[in-house]
Structure 1
Amino acid sequence: MTHTVLLAGKLSMHKGDFLRKHLTEDWRIETCDPAEDRAAFERLAPEADAMVGGHIAAPWPAMPKLKLFQIPFTGFDFLKPEVLPAGCLVCNTYEHETSIAEYILLGMLESEIGLAKTSAAFRAKSWNGKGPAQSPVHGEVRGKTVGIVGYGHIGHEVAVRARAFQARAIGIGRRDRETPPELDWYGKADRLQDLCAEADYVVVCAPLNDDTRGMIGAHQFAAMKPTAVVINVGRGPIVDEDALYEALSAKRIGGAVIDVWYNYPTPDDPSPWPSKHPLQELDNIIMSPHNSGWTQEQIDRRWTFVAANLDRLARGETPLNKVMEGAG
C-alpha cells in the first residue's frame, strides 16, 4: 500500500531526496510551501497520510486521511490540537542534544579561559612586554557547579560532559524522579532558588510555557553568585528580558551566553536587534543567532528520525515522540 507524505514549508520541502534514500516503506512524497503556494497546499493536504512541517498559517483544509503531523525540530508551541483531525498524532524530533551540549560546554570554557579576547590582544600587541608566566591568569571549569534548569535530553548530555571536566552538576525538572547518577542532586521548581545560589553556571534548557515564562527574573539573579554565568539555550522569554539586562549591565553577575532571543526576523524587519535592550554593547555577554544546535550532523540525525517515524506509521506501529493529538 502506498502512503502519501506532504513536506510542507521551506524547512521541509527540500528534503525529499534525503527521505527517498532512508524510507523503507512505500511512500509517495509531495512538496509545497503553503506560504508561497496556498493553492497547492489546499490541493495536496487532503490527500496526505502524513505531513512534515512547522508553523502553517490557518485556516487549514479538511485533512481526513492525516494520521501524523511530524515536526522536524523540537518546539511545538505554535500548534494547537484543534487544527488537526481528531486522532492525528503530533510528534516532534530531538537529535540536537549533542550539538547544544557542546555549545554549552564551549560557552563555559570560553567564560573561564577567554581565548577569543586573549587571541585578539595577542594579535594586536604581541607579548606586550610580558613573558609566558606574566599574563593574567584565567579560570577552569574543573570544580565548578553547573545548574541545569529544565533537566531533560539536553541537560543529561550537559551533565555527562560537565562530569568529564570534573565539574559538579545539579538540576531541576518538572517531574518527580530519583537523582540521576550524573547529578549531585535533582529537584523540582521549588528548588530553583537553591540552584541559582549554588551554581557557577545556570544553564536554561526548559521549554517555554506558562510555568517557565519569566522564571529566571530579578529574584533569581539576586540569588546568584557575582561570578555566575547564565547560559540560555531554551527560549528567550524564560529569562526575563529586563532583569537580564539589569544584571549584566550592573555587573551583578559574571556574564551570560545567550542563543535564544526576544526579537526574531520578520518579513517587515529582517534584521532586528535580538533584544529591546542594547545587550550587544555589553562586554560580559556572548551572543549567537539561535544556532547552538545547528550542525549538519544534527540535521541528518533529525531527518533520519523523521524517515523512521514515517515508516513506523506505514507499518501500523506507533510513531515516537508524541507531544499531542489532534482534536479537530
Structure 2
Amino acid sequence: MSHRNARLTVHGRRILVARVLAGRPVAHVAAEMGISRPTAHKWVRRWKSEGDAGLVDRSSRPCRTPHRTPAAVEERVCDLRRTRKLGPARIGPILGLPASTVHRVLTRHRLNRLAWLDRPTGIVIRRYERERPGELIHIDVKKLGRIPDGGGHKILGRQAGRATRNNAGFDYVHSAVDDHSRLAYSEIHPDEKVATCAAFLTRAAAFFAGLGITRIERVLTDNAWAYRKGLAWKQALADIGATGKLTRPYRPQTNGKVERFNRTLADEWAYQRPYTTNNERTAALADFLHTYNHHRSHTALGGHPPITRVNNPAGQYT
C-alpha cells in the first residue's frame, strides 16, 4: 500500500468499482470492504472520470508550502555542502538558519551524507536510480549450502553439523531486482547453467508483468559464462525485448542492488531461523518474497515497500 493507513490496494479499488457497477449500493460495498462511504464514493468518482488511472494513489504533498525554505537559500545550503563539505551545525550560522532546517534541506537534496559525495567534485556518487520500473533489472545467483535432513550445525552444533553436511550439495538462488522499484523475484535451482538462467529470466519477466512492469528494457548481470556466451540466454533476452548488459570484471558494486538483496535474502530468509530440512527453507521463500515486496519497509524508498514504486512510478512518496 502506498499510504500507511490505506485499506485498499489498486486491485481492491477495482473490485469495489466492479461491485458498484454490478448494481450493489455503495454503502453496502463500503461496509464489506471496511472503508467509509465517502471513500468508496471517491474511488467510484475517480474511476468514472479517469478510468483505471484514477485508482492509483496520488501524492499527499500539498499544492503549495508557504513556509518552505526559499529555493535560493536551499541552493546556497547545497553549494556550501558541495564546495566546503560543511555540516548543518556550521552552515546554519553562516546563513542564519537553524541546524535542523539545514539538515532537512540536505536530506531533501540527498546531500546529508558526506560519504555520498565525491570529495574533489562534490557530485553525488553514492546512489543511482533508474527513472521508471522496468528500465533496468539486476540479476544474480547466490550459492547456498543445502540443509541435510534433521538440520545442520545451527541445530546439531558445529561438530555434529559438519559431519551431516558432507555431500549435501548446494542450492543456487537466482534473483532479479528492478532498479527503480526494488521489486524482487527469486527461484531456487540445482545449478546456474545457461538453460536454467534463461528459463528464470522468462519467468521473472512474467512475474514483473503480473505486477504492472510490462516492459523490461535492460538486464544487468555479472560476467558468468551463461550470461556472456549462452545462446539460450540471448534468446530469452530477445523474447522479452530486452538488452543484456554486463558489469565490469571484478566489480560487483555495479550490480549492487541485487547484491544487497542477496544479503537481505540471507539475513531474513536463509539464515533467519534454524531449519530442520532443506525443503522447509525452500518453502519459506515465497512468504519472504511477498513480505519483502508488499509489506517490508525499504530505507531507499522512504520506508515504503517496493510495490508502492510500481503503483506510484514517479516516486512521490520517497
TM range (shorter): under 0.3
The structure with higher relative contact order (CA 8 Å, sep 6+) is 1
| Structure that is richer in strand per residue | 1
Normalized per residue, which structure has more helix?
2
